Amino acid sequence: MGVRDRFDADYNKFFSDLTRLCRALGAGASAEDIAQDAILHAREHQHQLRDESKLEPWLRRIAARRTFEHLRRQKRRESEETVVAFLPSDPSLSIDVSAAITRLPERERVAVVLVYALGYEQEEAAAVMNVTRGTVATLLHRARRHLAEGLVGYALERDLP
């Protein structure tokens, strides 16, 4: 099956996967549009894909890049409207705790979202971020430490064990 056939046969799967990725990266309601654009762009530029077995990682990279561009544009037009963030939601914890994710440095946050929210393996996350697996591991390690340090106050307040 050629790449073009795969686009058509697996469109639903690609779209679902990319929408989830874009939403997790913070695209909110624009996730579906970005995912759709990414697939169309990839379909038009399929000749740029050298290794057909890497179609999915390639698609994810395109979608991730477009999401980051979208977020940069959105940041320039910051308003007082609510923003949508993709966060862990533990009912027994305050939203303050969940929002700690948003305070992580960008790359750490992206690594955390890809691995913990989407369940990507570190290699897959590395492919999306265009870094090595070791870098992802380091980012995750740092993110966990930053979160732990940032949540000390909450743990103290609640007297968590």
Partner 1 sequence: MSPMSGHVSSDRLGDAARHGGVDVLREAESRHVAGCDRCRHLYAGYRLTDRLLAASWRDVKLLPAAVARPSRLGALADFVRGLDARSLAPALAAIGIVALIGAALAVPRLIPVPPPASTHSPIASVTTSPSASAPAVSTVSPYGSGQPPQSPGAQASGPGGPGSSSAPGTTPAPTAAGSPGKTTLAVTKVGGTPIAWSPDGAHLLMWGPGSGHTLQIRDAAGHLIGTATADAAAWVSSSTIAIATHSPIASPSASPSGPAHHGKGGPGPSSGVTVGGETVSIIGLSGHKVATLPGSYAFGGGLAGGMIVGSGTGEFTIASQGGGGPYGWSFVLWNGSVSAVQDGLPIAFSQDGHSLAVLHPSSVSGGAVTGWLEIMAVPSMNTVSSFTHSILRVGSGSLGSPYGFDAAFSPGGGYLLASGTLVNLSNGSTVTTGKGGWLPDGTLVTASNAGLLRWQGTHSSLDSRFPGMGTVETSRHGELIYFYGDSRPPLLLDTNGSLDALALPGVRSIGALLISPNGRAIAFDGRATDGSSITAVAALP
Q: Which spans of this chain sit near partner 1 (rule: CB under 8 A)?
A: 16, 20, 23-24, 28-29, 78-103, 105-106, 112-113, 115-117, 119, 121, 144-145, 147-152, 154-156, 159-161
As measured in angstroms, the least distance from the Cβ of 55 to partner 1 is 18
Question: What span, in angstroms and rounded, lies between the C-alpha atoms of 53 and 64?
Answer: 19
Q: What tokens appear for 113 in the block? A: 């979202």
As measured in angstroms, the least distance from the Cβ of 44 to partner 1 is 26
Residue from 96, 136, 97 nearest 116 by CA: 136
**Tokens 């399929």 found at:** 46
User: Nearer Cβ to partner 1, position 2 or 91?
Assistant: 91
User: Nearer Cβ to partner 1, position 54 or 145?
Assistant: 145
User: Nearer Cβ to partner 1, position 94 or 132?
Assistant: 94
Contact assessment for residue 112 and residue 101, using Cβ atoms and an 8 Å cutoff: yes
Residue from 98, 94, 96 nearest 86 by CA: 98
